[in-house]
Structure 1
Amino acid sequence: MVWLLLLFALVLWFVTYKISRRNMYKLASLVPAPIEELPIVGIAHTLTGSPVDIMETLQNFSYASFKFNGILRAWLVHLLYIVVTNPVDLEMILKNCLDKDNLHRFLRKITGNGGVFAPVSIWRRRRKIIIQAFRPKITENFVEVFSEQGEILVKKLEPRVGTGTFNLWPYISTYTLDSVSETAMGVKLHSQDDSKTPFLQAMTSMLNLVCQRIFHLWLQPDWLYKFMPQYVMHEKNKSILHDYTDQVIKTKREEFEAEHKSRPESEQKKDYDLDGYKRKSFLDLLISLSGGEKGYTNIELREEVLTLTVAGTDTSAASMGYTLLLLGKYPDVQEKVYQELYDVFGDSDRPLVKEDLLKLKHLERVVKESLRLYPPVPFIIRKALEDTKLPSGYVLPSGSGVVVSIWGVHRDPKYWGPDAEKFDPDRFLPERFKLEHSCSFMPFSNGPRNCVGYQYALMSMKTALSAVLRRYRVVVTEDALHNPYIKVKLDVMMKAVDEYQVALERRAPKTLKSNEHVA
């Protein structure tokens, strides 16, 4: 009798559940489906492989959407996702669907409610302060940090010159971590001197664990995850990240309060002074801009600083890696970059200063083309809280997740031409770069929740790349040279499978070459 009652309750729940979602089913049925879709499981069977397999599946769905005006549905058992590559539809989505999808909860377990992953109510309140902290007059002062760390990167690469191919990732990821750590928290982490620093290892491990949870349904329930072997590592690494950041914040808070009290009473009310914040970190700025003692709590500060550190480290490192790989694959483009660098720096070893960045036009085009083909965040997932009619005529059902495929929109021949897959930095020449729609190129998202650190990231990448390319020629293997594509995997950020295998050759000073020629 008890079993019958349980069975009846289960059937009743199932019928009620189905009826409550009938509108979603109806609207979803009008959206084109991938050929891989199966009854009940949808496309879940296609997302059970390795990070490489998952990335390839999402790429294929993006390409398939081109046939249907840039939209495709994807049932993940009971979860509905709509893959979108149409830039006109994407503009409406990114302006109106501001809530992050529930999958972001796994990232929030690391960073908390930092601006990138926070619910709208928290994000909206904090966004105003973050925008002030990323003002150009502030971020340009960090070029000195990027330049210092870029010179360290060059020295660390020196022993690799002429030794054949090697894994570039440990070098560029420690450069970006040291740069972000110093600019975000005001502390020198020195990970370029020790790539096994606990903070970097913990962050790398956490991102890998998060990616596993996002794409493997059995790892998603919190109650079940606690019984999995990954849970112990998850909690250990989270503690490392939180404890380190908390200690930095505690120290900075004490420094801020001591400095504030040491001012004349007439100046104590003035918490923010641009001139006084040169080379100050974002943590200093957030404490001051939010109201000092009455502003952000230590937990809120940790959320923002840790989000910036996690988001900024791997994205910039991956972008630098792709750029160097592409320059190795296209030696003629690399020589143009070197000539531009020589025109600015000559044979000198002087560090880059912020005025130099404006002169590096070709390098910037190269970086942007690299970001177009290999955006470090190839997919953004938003949540539709209500039925949303798109310009294309399709309707996003309430409760569905929206997969914004940056990978797809950046490679759509409709907007980038028949050679959309080709690496061509001259696409970004002023006379050629005329996009039909702003969402056709958005490596750092678009709309109200776009990345406020876009210019900061560009400055960091250009500074480090210029330091490397002035001294070394990047070379790839013969196989890589004749293969225009870079095999990638999805590990929250999109990374190269080979971890950016390159070789370096030392560049001889041009004055020396000229003298040898005369002799």
Structure 2
Amino acid sequence: MILWLLLVVLVLWTAQFRFRRRRMYKMASKYPHPTGELPLIGIAHKLSGNTEDIMTSLKQFSYEAMETNGITRGWLNHILYLLMVDPVDLEMVLKTCMEKDDLHRFIRKVIGYGGIFAPVPIWRRRRKILLPAFSPKIVEGFVEVFSEQSQIITRKLASLCGPEPFNLWPVISAYSLDSVCETTMGVKVNAQMDSNSPFLTCLASVLNIICERIFHLWLQPDWMFKFFPQYRKHQKYIKTLHDFTDLVIRKKRDELKNEKQCQPEADSHYDLGIYKRKSFLDLLISLSGGEKGYTDLELREEILTLTIAGTDTSAVSMCFTLKLLAKYPEVQEKLYKEIREVFGESNRPLVKGDLPNLKYLDRVVKESLRLFPPVPFVIRKVESDITLPSGLSVPRGSGIVVSIFGAHRDPNYWGPDADHFDPDRFLPERFNLQHACSYMPFSNGPRNCVGYQYALMSIKTAITSILRNYKVIGEPEKGPIPNIRLKLDIMLKAVEGYHVALEKRKPSSRIMTEPEIVATSLDS
């Protein structure tokens, strides 16, 4: 009798729930849906596998959307998500739907309300402080850091040089973390010299757990998550990241207090040139108002956000680019020729004035970012009904998956060779972007990535240094479409890693010794 009563209550509750949402169901019925959608759970079963399975499903949904006017729907149990690839619709979404989806709450457990993932009211205030911190004058000042760290990576790679392939990821991600920590916090974590760096290990591990929580429904409720083995690891990794960042902030506060360098509240009249080579932590303290500005908690949130976002995105981009150069040796040779034209026979370090002259490198990196954007999907919450330029209406309460991966490969905008690796498609005479949102490796709209120039400088500096010293060797691709298995670990990554071999370049492009680097830096 009790069971029957419970069943009746469940049926009545379900009927009432669906009745309240009848408008959403009616609107959703107008959208095309992906193959394999099931009653009640929708596409949940397609997102319950490992990170490669999840990426495979999202790729499939993206390609299906290309064939159905740029949109496809998917129910994740009771939540309606619309995956979109059409750049015209995406521009409106990114400009009007500013709030991040609730799934971002899992990464907020780690970084709190850092600017990228913060609710709109908090984001607006913090972005006003972040924007001047990422001004071109300040970012260009960090090229010296990138150049110094890239010299370390070339020396580190010397021990791995030879016919045996190895995975680039640990080396590249260590370079990225060293560069980011020095520019963000003003500290040297020396991850390149210590492959077991606790900060790097914890960072990679906690991102993997976050990805599991996002796509595995049984890990989402906090009370249920505590019963799984991932929970204790999750808490341990967070504590390590927080403790390290808090220590850096306390030391920086003391340093600034002792030196009496706190600046008044930021305004547009400051000469930001005086901040060159100061870390972002210095800048955020000063630009937010010194002792009356950001609290230690707010500083931790922003610094951790910049560190996590900067480390993984740059490392992913570099690894995919180098992997592509190994697959397409003719592209690598053309790039190496350009590098030799810029640097000649010298072994001087790269300076900021070299980057504008590396035009082919710019095209190679842009094409790599097009095919393999580090953040392939962005999810926004729909807080009020909107009508898209395509004419479709999106109901309040749904979520929109912005498929950057799909927009970058849509043949409707990129042509029939959209999946081909072709850096020359970015030649000025060929590059005719019909819409800004057709190419947005750093997102688009008001909430785009403020650090895109920073990331590009770091990526280009490291790749230049590596190619000046080594030839990257891999199995040449048989066709123009790169065959790389992909997975989604928050960022887009290669399932099998980034295995290549290195061949030493001739002595004229040898690696500089430590004294030479110091002497050259002093001369410049």
Instruction: State the TM-score, normalized to the length of structure 1.
Output: 0.95
Q: Deviations over 1:24-72 (max 9, x none)?
A: 1111111101121111111111112111111011001000011111000
The whole-number CA distance in structure 2 between the counterparts of 1:269 and 1:451 is 24
Number of positions where the alignment pairs a residue of Structure 1 with one of Structure 2: 508
The whole-number CA distance in structure 1 between the counterparts of 2:30 and 2:150 is 52
| 1:483 CA drift (Å) | 7.1
Amino acid at match of 2:250: K
The whole-number CA distance in structure 2 between the counterparts of 1:17 and 1:253 is 52
CA pair 350-480 structure 1, distance change in 2 beyond 3 A: farther
Amino acid at match of 2:74: A
Alignment pair present for 1:93 and 2:88? no
Aligned to 1:249: 249
Aligned to 2:515: none
| 1:20 CA drift (Å) | 1.6
Aligned partner of residue 502 in structure 2, secondary structure: strand
User: Do the aligned residues in 1 keep the contact of 2:421 with 2:481 (CA within 8 Å)?
Assistant: no
Aligned to 1:301: 299
User: Do the aligned residues in 2 keep the contact of 1:329 with 1:481 (CA within 8 Å)?
Assistant: no
Aligned to 2:127: 127
User: Do the aligned residues in 2 keep the contact of 1:43 with 1:77 (CA within 8 Å)?
Assistant: yes
Aligned to 1:170: 170
Amino acid at match of 1:383: K
The whole-number CA distance in structure 2 between the counterparts of 1:189 and 1:387 is 47
Aligned to 1:117: 117
| 1:13 CA drift (Å) | 2.7
User: Do the aligned residues in 2 keep the contact of 1:325 with 1:500 (CA within 8 Å)?
Assistant: yes
User: Do the aligned residues in 2 keep the contact of 1:186 with 1:281 (CA within 8 Å)?
Assistant: yes
Aligned partner of residue 164 in structure 1, secondary structure: strand
Pairwise mapping of residues 341-490 of structure 1 onto structure 2 (< 5 A)?
341-477=339-475, 484-490=482-488
Aligned to 2:102: 102
CA pair 283-359 structure 1, distance change in 2 beyond 3 A: same
Aligned to 1:73: 73
Structure 2 portions without partners, runs of 5+: 511-524
CA pair 483-364 structure 1, distance change in 2 beyond 3 A: closer
Aligned to 2:34: 34
The whole-number CA distance in structure 2 between the counterparts of 1:482 and 1:364 is 19
The whole-number CA distance in structure 2 between the counterparts of 1:190 and 1:144 is 17
Amino acid at match of 2:502: L
The whole-number CA distance in structure 2 between the counterparts of 1:407 and 1:423 is 14
| 1:11 CA drift (Å) | 3.6
| 1:269 CA drift (Å) | 8.0
Aligned to 1:227: 227
The whole-number CA distance in structure 1 between the counterparts of 2:58 and 2:154 is 36
Counterpart of 1:314 (choices 304, 312, 317) is 312
Amino acid at match of 1:322: F
| 1:274 CA drift (Å) | 2.6
The whole-number CA distance in structure 2 between the counterparts of 1:144 and 1:31 is 51
Q: Deviations over 1:303-358 (max 9, x none)?
A: 00000100110110010001001111111111111111101111221110110111
Alignment pair present for 1:199 and 2:181? no
Amino acid at match of 1:492: I
Q: Deviations over 1:493-517 (max 9, x none)?
A: 01111210001111115799xxxxx
Aligned to 2:187: 187
The whole-number CA distance in structure 2 between the counterparts of 1:95 and 1:268 is 32
The whole-number CA distance in structure 1 between the counterparts of 2:221 and 2:282 is 37
The whole-number CA distance in structure 1 between the counterparts of 2:72 and 2:258 is 57
The whole-number CA distance in structure 1 between the counterparts of 2:509 and 2:227 is 65
Alignment pair present for 1:141 and 2:141? yes
User: Do the aligned residues in 2 keep the contact of 1:328 with 1:481 (CA within 8 Å)?
Assistant: no
CA pair 276-419 structure 1, distance change in 2 beyond 3 A: same
Aligned partner of residue 160 in structure 1, secondary structure: coil
CA pair 482-387 structure 1, distance change in 2 beyond 3 A: closer
| 1:260 CA drift (Å) | 2.0
User: Do the aligned residues in 2 keep the contact of 1:377 with 1:493 (CA within 8 Å)?
Assistant: yes
| 1:15 CA drift (Å) | 2.4
Aligned partner of residue 433 in structure 1, secondary structure: coil
The whole-number CA distance in structure 1 between the counterparts of 2:151 and 2:74 is 46
Amino acid at match of 1:103: L
| 1:469 CA drift (Å) | 0.5
Alignment pair present for 1:499 and 2:497? yes
Counterpart of 2:327 (choices 320, 329, 333) is 329
The whole-number CA distance in structure 2 between the counterparts of 1:430 and 1:396 is 37
The whole-number CA distance in structure 1 between the counterparts of 2:480 and 2:137 is 43
Amino acid at match of 2:191: S
Amino acid at match of 1:167: N
User: Do the aligned residues in 1 keep the contact of 2:407 with 2:439 (CA within 8 Å)?
Assistant: yes
| 1:377 CA drift (Å) | 0.6
The whole-number CA distance in structure 2 between the counterparts of 1:89 and 1:268 is 42
User: Do the aligned residues in 1 keep the contact of 2:347 with 2:509 (CA within 8 Å)?
Assistant: no
Amino acid at match of 1:494: L
User: Do the aligned residues in 2 keep the contact of 1:347 with 1:509 (CA within 8 Å)?
Assistant: no
Q: Let me know the Cα RMSD of the aligned residues.
A: 1.9
Aligned partner of residue 116 in structure 1, secondary structure: coil
Aligned to 1:64: 64
Segments of 4+ in structure 1 off by > 3 A? 1-12, 267-273, 478-483, 509-512
Instruction: State the TM-score, normalized to the length of structure 2.
Output: 0.94
Structure 1 portions without partners, runs of 5+: 513-519
User: Do the aligned residues in 2 keep the contact of 1:165 with 1:477 (CA within 8 Å)?
Assistant: no
Amino acid at match of 1:89: D
Aligned partner of residue 501 in structure 2, secondary structure: strand
The whole-number CA distance in structure 1 between the counterparts of 2:364 and 2:11 is 58
Q: Deviations over 1:286-315 (max 9, x none)?
A: 000000011000000000000010011011
The whole-number CA distance in structure 2 between the counterparts of 1:401 and 1:129 is 29
Amino acid at match of 2:126: R
